[in-house]
Amino acid sequence: MTDHSHTLSRRHAMALAGAVLLAPGLAAAQGNDALPSWRDGPRKRALLDFVGAVTQEGGADFVQPNARIAVFDNDGTLWVEQPAYTQLVFILDRIRALAPGNPDWQQDPVFRAALAGDLHAIAAGGMEGLIRLIGAAQAGTSPDDFRGVVAEWLASARDPKWGRPYTALVYQPMLEVLAFLRARGFATFIVTGGGVEFVRTISQDAYGIPPHQVVGTTFSLKPGEADGRITLTREPHVDFVDDGPGKPVGISRQIGARPIAAFGNSDGDYQMLRYTTEGPGRRFGMIVHHDDADREYAYDRDSDIGRLARAMDEAPQRGWQLASMKNDWARIFP
Amino acid sequence: MTDHSHTLSRRHAMALAGAVLLAPGLAAAQGNDALPSWRDGPRKRALLDFVGAVTQEGGADFVQPNARIAVFDNDGTLWVEQPAYTQLVFILDRIRALAPGNPDWQQDPVFRAALAGDLHAIAAGGMEGLIRLIGAAQAGTSPDDFRGVVAEWLASARDPKWGRPYTALVYQPMLEVLAFLRARGFATFIVTGGGVEFVRTISQDAYGIPPHQVVGTTFSLKPGEADGRITLTREPHVDFVDDGPGKPVGISRQIGARPIAAFGNSDGDYQMLRYTTEGPGRRFGMIVHHDDADREYAYDRDSDIGRLARAMDEAPQRGWQLASMKNDWARIFP
What value of ipTM does the predicted structure carry?
0.88
pLDDT tens track for B81-135: 999 899 999 999 999 999 999 999 999 999 999 999 888 888 777 778 887 888 8
pLDDT at A92 over 70: yes
Residues of B in contact with A144 (CB under 8 A): 258
What are the domain boundaries of chain B?
2-84+166-328, 86-156
The CATH number corresponding to A8-82+165-328 among 3.40.50.1820, 3.40.50.450, 3.40.50.1000, 3.40.630.10 equals 3.40.50.1000
Mean local confidence (pLDDT), B13-33: 46
pLDDT at A18 over 50: no
Quick one: what percent of chain A has pLDDT higher than 70? 91
Contact B257 A211 (CB under 8 A): yes
Tell me the pLDDT of chain B averaged across its residues: 89
pLDDT tens track for A216-268: 999 899 999 999 999 999 888 888 999 999 999 999 999 999 999 999 999 99
- pLDDT at res. A119: 83
Strand order in the sheet with A214-226: A229-240, A214-226, A187-195, A69-72, A261-264, A284-289, A321-324
The more confidently predicted of residues A234 and A10 is: A234
Q: How far is A141 from chain B (nearest CA, A)?
A: 13
- pLDDT at res. B120: 82
Each residue of A296-321: b (16+ CB within 10 Å) or e?
bbebbeebebbbbeebbeebeeeebb
- pLDDT at res. A322: 98
The more confidently predicted of residues A183 and A21 is: A183
Decide if domain B2-84+166-328 falls under CATH 3.40.50.1000: yes
| Structural contact between residues B68 and B54, judged by C-beta atoms closer than 8 angstroms | yes
pLDDT tens track for A270-306: 999 999 999 999 999 999 999 999 999 999 999 988 9
Ranges assigned E (strand) in chain A:
69-72, 187-195, 214-226, 229-240, 261-264, 284-289, 321-324
Sorting pLDDT into bands at 50, 70 and 90, what band is A20?
very low
Distances (CA, A) of B176 to B31, B32, B141, B334: 16, 14, 35, 10
Cα–Cα nearest to A167, from A126, A198, A129: A198
Count contacts between A and B (CB, < 8 Å): 96
Sorting pLDDT into bands at 50, 70 and 90, what band is B18?
very low
Contact A256 B204 (CB under 8 A): no
The more confidently predicted of residues B3 and B174 is: B174
Beta-sheet pairing, A214-226 with A187-195: parallel
Cα–Cα nearest to A139, from A68, A233, A210, A244: A233
DSSP annotation of B252 reads: I
pLDDT at A25 over 70: no
Evaluate the CA torsion angle A194, A242, A305, A116 in order and state its sign: positive
Mean local confidence (pLDDT), A188-207: 96
Mean local confidence (pLDDT), B9-35: 49
pLDDT at A3 over 60: no
Contact A212 B214 (CB under 8 A): no
- pLDDT at res. A7: 35
pLDDT at B164 over 90: yes
Contact A232 B214 (CB under 8 A): no
Mean local confidence (pLDDT), B11-25: 43
Q: How far is A1 from chain B (nearest CA, A)?
A: 7
- pLDDT at res. A320: 98
- pLDDT at res. A126: 77
- pLDDT at res. A164: 97
| Among chain B residues, CA nearest to A245 | B223
Radius of gyration of chain B (CA): 20
- pLDDT at res. B25: 41
| Among chain A residues, CA nearest to B69 | A212
Beta bridge partners of A226: A229
Of the candidates B200, B255, B274, the beta carbon closest to that of A211 is on B255
The DSSP secondary structure of B9-39, one letter per residue, reads: -HHHHHHHHHHHHHHHHHHHSTT--S-TTBP
- Least confidently predicted of A7-21, A137-151, B58-72: A7-21
pLDDT tens track for B247-297: 999 999 999 999 999 999 999 999 999 999 999 999 999 999 999 999 999
Of the candidates A221, A253, A271, the beta carbon closest to that of B221 is on A253
| Euclidean distance between CA atoms A265 and A287, whole angstroms | 5
pLDDT at A308 over 90: yes
Can you give the pTM of this predicted structure? 0.89
pLDDT at B5 over 70: no
Beta bridge partners of B287: B264, B322
| Among chain B residues, CA nearest to A229 | B278
Residues of A in contact with B256 (CB under 8 A): 1, 143, 196-197, 200, 211-212, 214
| Euclidean distance between CA atoms B92 and B76, whole angstroms | 19
pLDDT at B307 over 80: yes
